[in-house]
Amino acid sequence: MGSLKLHHFSIESNYTNYKYDISVYVPPIQAPMDGFPVIYVLDGLSYFPLAKQIVHLQSRNTMKTKVESTIVVGICHQEETMHSRRFYDFTAPAEKYHFPAHTKGKLNHIKEVGGAENFSSFITEELKPMIESQYNINKSQQAIYGHSLSGYYVLWSYLTRPNEFQTYIAVSPSIWWNDRELFCFLQNSDIKNLGPIYIIVGEREGFMVEDAVHFYKELPTRINQQLFIATDENHASVVPATMSRAFRFCFEVNNR
Q: Where is average pLDDT lowest: 25-29, 69-73, 150-154, 186-190? A: 186-190
Q: Which pLDDT value is given to residue 236?
A: 95
Q: Which pLDDT value is given to residue 22?
A: 98
Say if residue 27's pLDDT is above 60: yes
Total residues found in the chain within this entry: 256
Residues 27, 70 contacting (CB under 8 angstroms): yes
Q: Which pLDDT value is given to residue 109?
A: 63
Secondary structure, 3-state, 56-115: HHHHHHHHHHCCCCCEEEEEECCHHHHHHHHHHHCCCCCCCCCCCHHHCCCCCCCCCCCC
What does the alpha-carbon distance between residue 163 and residue 249 come to, in Å, rounded to a whole number? 18
Tens of pLDDT, residues 186-212: 888 776 678 899 999 999 999 999 999
Judged on CB neighbours under 10 Å (0-12, 13-18, 19+), 33 is: exposed
Judged on CB neighbours under 10 Å (0-12, 13-18, 19+), 45 is: middle
Q: Which of 68, 181, 205, 233 is catalytic?
A: 205
Say if residue 107's pLDDT is above 80: no
Say if residue 103's pLDDT is above 70: no
Which band of pLDDT confidence, cut at 50, 70 and 90, is reported for residue 92? Answer: very high
Residues 194, 224 contacting (CB under 8 angstroms): no
Spatial CA neighbour of 13 closest among 87, 116, 119, 85: 119
- The Cα angle at residue 163 between residues 20 and 53, in degrees rounded to 5: 50
Residues 168, 123 contacting (CB under 8 angstroms): no
Output DSSP code: residue 127: I
Phi, psi of 199 (to 5 degrees): -105, 130
Q: Tell me the residue ranges of DSSP E strands in the chain.
A: 5-12, 19-26, 36-41, 71-76, 137-147, 167-171, 197-202, 225-230
Q: Which of 117, 132, 235, 252 is catalytic?
A: 235
Q: Of 112 and 119, which is predicted with more confidence?
A: 119
Ordered by where they begin, the domains of the chain are: 5-254 (3.40.50.1820)
Which band of pLDDT confidence, cut at 50, 70 and 90, is reported for residue 3? Answer: low
Q: Of 40 and 101, which is predicted with more confidence?
A: 40
Tens of pLDDT, residues 210-237: 999 999 999 877 678 999 999 999 999 9
Quick check: is 148 catalytic? yes
User: What is the rounded average pLDDT for all residues in the chain?
Assistant: 91
What are the residues whose beta carbons fall under 8 Å from the beta carbon of 145, sequence distance 6 or more? 39, 40, 41, 42, 47, 51, 154, 169, 171, 243, 246
Say if residue 8's pLDDT is above 90: yes
Share of the chain above pLDDT 90, in %: 77
Q: Which pLDDT value is given to residue 84?
A: 85
Quick check: is 205 catalytic? yes
Quick check: is 83 catalytic? no
Which band of pLDDT confidence, cut at 50, 70 and 90, is reported for residue 94? Answer: confident
Q: Which of 13, 23, 46, 148 is catalytic?
A: 148
Mean pLDDT to the nearest integer, 172-191: 88
pTM of the model: 0.94
Say if residue 1's pLDDT is above 50: no
Tens of pLDDT, residues 34-72: 999 999 999 999 999 999 999 999 999 999 999 999 999
Say if residue 99's pLDDT is above 80: no
